[in-house]
Copies of this chain bind each other. A is one copy, B any other.
Amino acid sequence: MFKKTEETKVLRDVIHGYIHVEYQVIWDLINAKEFQRLRRISQLGGVHQVYHNAEHSRFTHSLGVYEIVRRMVYEIKDIHDRLSEEEKVIVMIAGLLHDVGHLPFSHAFQNICPVEHEQFSRDIILMDSDIHCILQNISTHLAKQVADIIDYKHENEILNQIVSGQLDADRMDYLLRDAYFSGTSYGKFDIERILRTIRVRENKIVVKESGMHSVEDYIMARYHMYWQVYYHPVARSFEHILFMIFKRMKEIYPDESYFYNLDMFTPFLEEKQSVRDHFMLDEHASYYGFGVLTRKNDQILKELALCILDRRLFKYDAYSEANETQIREQLIREGKDPEYYMIVDTMSKSPYSPYDGHNIYILTQQGEVKELSTISIIVSSLLGGKIKEDKKIYYYK
């Protein structure tokens, strides 16, 4: 059913050495225009404003997820033996395509566009797209199965967990990759050891106790990456400005004359976006659109767009009521509407939260399957402690 390529194709990758492609369908999907579009979507919204090397795209991350899935289904005996060839290919495709629905600056955008990127991924896979055609040409039920894994509702639980459990190909790739490109050491953990110690028990992906310290290390890596990289206030500042731009556009949207030459955004403001509209809205189009905003007559959008283009980011301080009041008053004195020029933001992140269906499980030396925090002293200590929280106020200056 699945044609193999003549010989294994390889793509050099900084994290995995090589990405290996053995199936024609994978190769065709990589070359599909909707997948190539991911080259034009940054992996990390505003992070490269602070870690300047973090300019990598979702394209490279998606290849990386695919490669980890591929290794999981071939190199982990328990998984290998439980999956048919078809299931193997399907889950590799799901890993490859799980992010295909991303819009630029996802987090900022999501706040005004109520559709999640998983829903866009679903639409692209199931509806009118080159990707859909490629899948359809092989078998009519393929697209549905791939979409089900991305939705975490495939009937074979293992497939869902491989792509998006707590210890999944997605997270493992992005931690390693984001660490490489940000130049920090925090995101590194021993993926070889984790892959070597994964087993399947009770229809769950579990890790042998001898690999538990690598899992602990992975959890700490994730925790540090959140606080040092993903939640960095400079990155947040950039994203808040984007959010304000979209919020303002949404606000004035019904005024069609304003939106002349901004048709990359309008279908989304109208909430009538098609798969094709999604395809057109990449980062290039967005930035071009921001340029258009600077030449239009809404003062707020003009100023905020220049903040993005010339990197005049919002300042930030630790939050206090007094602080908020003072900033608000100052903005009003300067004629800036606090609705668009100020934002209060609370970040918090627990190192690991065991919750139903997404726990990490350890296979003890005695052969029992236990939730990680019941057996790891480190993780249970962290769960017992406080949760780090950071409340800041960001504002135009």
A302 at the interface (CB under 8 A from B): no
Bound-complex Cα distance A383 to B381 (A)? 8
Bound-complex Cα distance A377 to B227 (A)? 13
A13 touches B57 (CB 8 A): no
A63 at the interface (CB under 8 A from B): yes
By beta carbon, the residue of chain B nearest A366 is B318
Per-residue interface assignment for chain A, residues 48 to 89, with 1 indicating a CB less than 8 Å from any chain B CB and 0 otherwise? 100111011101100100000000000000000000000000
Complex interface: chain B residues within 8 A of A57 (CB): 55
The interface stretch among A163-171, A284-292, A324-332, A338-346 is A284-292
In the complex, the count of this chain's copies comes to 4
A320 at the interface (CB under 8 A from B): no
The interface stretch among A108-116, A150-158, A188-196 is A188-196
Complex interface: chain B residues within 8 A of A311 (CB): 31, 33, 36
The interface stretch among A119-127, A134-142, A246-254, A384-392 is A384-392
Q: B12, B33, B213, B228: which contacts A213 (Cβ < 8 A)?
A: B228
- A309: shortest Cβ distance to chain B, in Å? 7
B12 touches A184 (CB 8 A): yes
Per-residue interface assignment for chain A, residues 360 to 373, with 1 indicating a CB less than 8 Å from any chain B CB and 0 otherwise? 00000000000000
A39 at the interface (CB under 8 A from B): yes
Most buried by B among A17, A180, A220, A378: A378
* Docked complex: A281-302 residues within 8 A CB-CB of B: 282-288, 291
The 9 tightest CB contacts between A and B, nearest first, are A381-B385, A284-B287, A288-B288, A14-B183, A33-B310, A284-B284, A36-B311, A14-B53, A381-B381
Residues of chain A at the chain B interface (Cβ within 8 Å):
10-14, 17-18, 31, 33, 36, 39-40, 48, 51-53, 55-57, 59-60, 63, 180-186, 188-190, 192, 196, 213, 216-217, 220, 223-224, 227-228, 261, 280, 282-288, 291, 309-311, 351, 377-378, 380-388
